[in-house]
Structures are given as C-alpha cells and as structure tokens.
Structure 1
Amino acid sequence: MTAKYSITMFCPRDGKYVAEHMRDNDVFECRAAGHATPEEAIDEGVKESHRVWTFCYGGVPLCVFGDVPDLCGGAVFWLLGTDEIKHHKREFMRRSKLFKGYLMKNYDYLTNVVCMDNHESVRWLKWLGAEFCEESAVIMGKKFQRFYIERSDGECVRQLQG
C-alpha cells in the first residue's frame, strides 16, 4: 500500500515541520556544519540547492533532501529527516534507491560528509553504494568521513581522489 507515500517538491512548511521533528543525529550534523539551528541548516540547503524535495507519508514530511551541483560534474547530496522515518524504512529504502537512479542520470557522482557515529545513515549510504574516503576529520569530538556514490560508468571520483 504505497499510495500514501509521495515525493514532492519542497515547500517551506515541509522544512519547518522537519526542523521541529528532526532526528538527534541530524541535529548534531547540522550543528557540526556550523548551523545554529535545524531551520538554519534547511534554509541554507534550500538556498544552495538546484532542487529540493520532500518525502512524505500521508502528507506528513518524513525528510527533506536536495542536490547542490559542484564544478566537476557531481553534486553534494544532503538529507535531513524526522524520527518518524524509522517507521517507514522499507518504503524509504525503496524510494531512495529509485531516486538515486534519477539523480545519477544528471551527475557523475554524489558526495557529502557524514558523522560515522550516525550508524543508520552510514548503513543507508553503504546500501546505496557509497564508498568512504580513508581520510577523516574530527568535528565537535566526532569522526566525519566523506562519501561518494558514483555513476556506474564514472571515472571522475577516482580521478578526484587520486
């Protein structure tokens, strides 16, 4: 019964809802990125992104996400979610895999950094095919690593890393 699920173009009330109900790990990552509040992080993401979407269940936002194109043919991919998303894992996983395919038609790779203590996000990124750089940085006492998800025919990321 997937009719209650939707991916829609972002609207400001979606961002407000997600910011008010954001997962603790995502709140930490927002602060580590230099944002004072989840609302500030979402506002900045919306401002910088080429496109921003909302994944909903029954019209209620579960997460917002976007893509910020870079100069090498890739994009910084970001996603901020609510605690409620954990109750919709199967559909979230299915839809995120499909959406990854959509994004990879436009980019050679997707990238960002993630807190390695954010086990759910790390597991999800690996499931999507992310590879993690060996180098890491400690921010606010926690280890962060850059990840890349390459288009299957892409060489760009390997060239950037090496």
Structure 2
Amino acid sequence: MDYQTKLIDKKDLRRMEKQMRPMDRFEFDLMSGGWSMRDCLEDLDRRTLVAKAAYLDGKLLAIGGVVPAMSALSTVGSPWLCATPLVETREGRRAFIQHSRSEFELVSFPFRLLWNVCSEKNVIAIRWLKWLGFEFDGSNIEIDGNRFLKFKMER
C-alpha cells in the first residue's frame, strides 16, 4: 500500500466534493449554514493553517486540518476532517490509523486547546477522536434536530 500526504490544492477539494462519505456530507450539510459543499471546503482550506490530503494507492482517502479560533496566532483551534468511503474499507482503515496520529500532530502542533463537534451518529469519527485522545465532556448542541457532541483536547 502506498500512503502519501500532501498540502491540499483545488483538485483535492473537487475530488472530496464528489467522493465524500455520506456521514461526513451529512455533518457538513447541517453545519454549513446553507453554503454549497464547494464553498464550505474552500472556506475551510482558506482558514486552515496547514490543510493536508491523504492518498492511498493514488485514491483520495481524507482531507483535514485545524482552523485557528480567532486569528493565525491563536492557540485555540477547531480540527476538521472529511473522508471518502475508502476509509471504511479494511485497507483504508488500516492505513488511516497507521498514519493519522502523526499527521494530526503535524497540523495541530501550535494549538494548546482543540475543540469541535461531531454528530452522535458519526461513530467512526467518535472512535477515531477518542483514539487520538479527545474527550467528550457530555455537552451537546442541536442542529436541525440532530445532536452533535462536543469534543476537546488540552495540551
């Protein structure tokens, strides 16, 4: 298996727009405030200090990064990630787990506090976030009748 990461470019955003796994699309649709998927991904890329794309055997696996809370100098950030259905395959899951912790450290190193929310239905993301060391403190928000769980990590 050939696993590679790179800084995100427009091609990666277009691929993800077309290939995003349904659960991630569900979250983005609810949290976007009516923006198109393209606009949402471009905005995340623009506001993220280091946004990366992961490929497995030449196929897009995931994109993600951390958006600073207030400015580029902020020590508080909101991590985001979206994946393709490839992450749900045995090979994709294995490669993602093998490399994602070190990749996450590369994009999140300047931040002392990381936090965001994810849908309670996104069990794959919840499992991965716990594996990375995030804590779910029980505080929730509701978006269009769907419960989102707050997660955070202090360093």
TM bin, normalised by shorter chain, reads: 0.7 to 0.9
Q: Percent identity?
A: 26
> Of 123, 136, 146, which residue of structure 2 is paired with 1:142?
146
Query: Match for 1:9: what amino acid?
Result: L
Amino acid aligned to 1:148: K
Q: 1:102: Cα distance to partner?
A: 2.7
1:49–1:103 distance in 2 versus 1, CA, 3 Å: closer
CA contact (8 A) 1:128 1:149 kept: no
Give the Å deviation of 1:114: 0.4
Match of residue 31 from structure 1? 29
Please list, as runs of the form range in 1=range in 2, the aligned pairs for 1:31-50 lying within 5 A after superposition. Answer: 31-33=29-31, 34-50=33-49
Calculate the TM-score normalised by the size of structure 2. Answer: 0.87
In structure 2, distance between residues paired with 1:5 and 1:35: 34
- Moved segments of 4+, more than 6 Å: none
Unpaired segments ≥5 residues, structure 1:
152-162
1:105-116 alignment to 2 at 5 Å?
A: 105-116=109-120
Mapped pair 1:102 → 2:102: no
Tell me, in whole angstroms, the C-alpha distance in 2 between the residues paired with 1:100 and 1:149.
12
Deviations for 1:112-141, whole angstroms, at most 9, x for unmatched residues? 110011111111111111111322111122
Deviation of 1:84 after TM superposition, in Å, equals: 1.3
For 1:20, the equivalent position in structure 2 comes to: 18
Q: Which of the numbers 67, 74, 77 marks the counterpart of 1:75?
A: 77
What amino acid is aligned across from residue 151 of structure 2 in structure 1?
Answer: F
2-structure distance, mates of 1:103, 1:52 = 7
Residue in structure 1 matched with residue 125 of structure 2 by the alignment: 121
Secondary structure, aligned partner of 1:90: helix
Letter in 1 for 2:4: S
**Residue 59 of structure 2 aligns with which residue?**
60
What secondary structure does 1:51 align onto? coil
Counterpart Cα distance in 2 of 1:12 and 1:49 = 14
* Contact 1:22/1:38, CA 8 A, preserved across alignment: no
Residue identity in the other structure for 2:81: L
1:155 corresponds in structure 2 to none
What number of residue pairs does the alignment pair up? 149
Shift of 1:90: 1.4
- Seen in structure 2, the aligned counterparts of structure 1 residues 104 and 78 have a Cα distance that, compared at 3 Å, is closer
Q: Which amino acid counterpart does residue 84 of structure 1 have in structure 2?
A: L
TM-score by length of 1: 0.84
